Amino acid sequence: MKSPLLPRESLIAGAYGLGAMLILAALIVLGSRQLSHFDAALVGYTFASLFAMFGIVYRYSMWLQRPPTALYWRRGWQAFFTRRGRARNVGLMFRRLFSSFALNIFIWRRNWLRGAAHWLIMWGCVLAAAITFPLVFGWVHFEFADGSFERYRANIFGFSTFSFETDSLLGFLIFHGLVWASFLVIAGVMLAMRRRMRSHDALALQRFGEDLLPLIMLFAVSITGLMLVVSYSWMDGFAYEFLSITHAATVIFTLLWMPFGKFFHIFQRPAQLGVAFYKDAGQRGQQAICVRCEQPYASQLQVDDLIEVQRRLGYRYEFVTDRVDHYQRVCPRCRRISMALSQGKLWQESHGTAS
């Protein structure tokens, strides 16, 4: 039988990616009121975003089809929606969102430099994305309010919302939102680059495409964006066209790169929340007892799931003995000792037969 041109997983992932891209395109048309608020000058950003959406959903879908990911994805949701713990889980979710995602506490614990770098880059990017994408897609646009040139009104998805004075502090903060974002990103990139240039572990392990290119891209996007502001604020628009094309090129490259490199962790990372609920469920449930030392070592749920995952991956850790049916029933410490004892046994046998 001829093998299909594309594996089934790729076709499924491609369909999801295409679907997500079409949904985003429809939302752009809808949110910009049939493109009436869509800025044609930003069409390059829009197409790059549509491609990024396809790529991210394609890769996410491929990732979700790996046996361990598929299982823990399902288990995470099951643990979250468990009938008796739903209210508690919602509270826990907000707490974990705040500590892990808003504050990045687990990264600060690794090292303050890592924590500071990541926190600054993350919030800079979040702020920039929250401003840029709605503007590019025509979901948010501003217009003069009350028939004067002194007040601006923000329209979201074509609906009028709040207004503010153009010369007010709020106006200044809003109009320069991307400037504040780039300050955060540049500071974070500097700290991260310092570590990457000086730390022995980073020097040994880092790879250009995986670790340095994302930092270079973030810096390029931020600095070219700032240069645009400098050009129109203080230099009468000197080289503005060149700068705007350069800025667009850096942003579009970054968007196109999102599904492939390190930026993809932005979409993988929320799985950390699901795992936390899975662990909670495991702790409340039955504990697995090691067949060798007879001590509890993990949740029975996780041990049983691992046996299933290993079978699906093609591993054969099954034993044909009365005392143990699967190697997963042996705790990590007993695994360490057993291997050394089996080596010792070879020496024992060798002494018995030698001489």
Partner 1 sequence: MAIPENKYFFIDPHRCIGCQSCVQACSECDTHKGKSMIHLETVDRLQSPQTLPVICMHCDSPTCAEVCPADAIKRTEDGVVQSARKPRCIACNNCVLACPFGVPKMETSMDLMMKCDMCYDRTSIGKKPMCATVCPSGALHYGTLSEIEELRPRSRTNNEFRFGGQTIRTKVQMMVPRQSPATHLDVADGMFESPADEADDAMLSGAVFELPTVQ
Q: Which of residues 76-115 bind partner 1 (CB under 8 A)?
A: 100, 106-107, 109-110, 114
Based on CB atoms, which residue is closest to partner 1, 98 or 347?
347
Based on CB atoms, which residue is closest to partner 1, 54 or 60?
60
Q: Which stretch binds partner 1 (CB under 8 A): 2-10, 45-53, 225-233, 313-321?
A: 313-321
Q: What is the CA radius of gyration of the chain?
A: 27
Coil vs helix vs strand at 137? coil
203 binds partner 1 (CB under 8 A): yes
For residue 277, give both structure tokens.
Answer: 């609920």
CB 272 within 8 A of CB 291: no
Q: Which residues in 43-128 belong to E strands, given as ranges?
A: none
Give the orientation angle of helix 271-284 with respect to helix 67-80, to 10 degrees: 70
294 binds partner 1 (CB under 8 A): no
60 binds partner 1 (CB under 8 A): no
Angle 291-76-21 from CA coordinates, rounded to 5°: 140
Rounded-to-integer distance, Cα 120 and Cα 289, Å: 44
205 binds partner 1 (CB under 8 A): yes
Q: At closest approach, how far in Å is the CB of 243 from partner 1?
A: 31
Q: At closest approach, how far in Å is the CB of 203 from partner 1?
A: 7
Rounded-to-integer distance, Cα 167 and Cα 152, Å: 10
309 binds partner 1 (CB under 8 A): yes
Binder among 58, 72, 80, 164 for partner 1 (CB under 8 A): 72
Q: At closest approach, how far in Å is the CB of 273 from partner 1?
A: 9
Based on CB atoms, which residue is closest to partner 1, 35 or 203?
203
179 binds partner 1 (CB under 8 A): no
5 binds partner 1 (CB under 8 A): no
Count CB neighbours of 67 within 10 A.
Answer: 14
| H helix runs in 97-163, sequence order | 105-110, 112-136
Ranges within 216-255 binding partner 1 (CB under 8 A): none
63 binds partner 1 (CB under 8 A): yes
Based on CB atoms, which residue is closest to partner 1, 24 or 79?
79
Give Cβ neighbours of residue 16 (< 8 Å, ≥ 6 apart).
57, 58, 60, 61
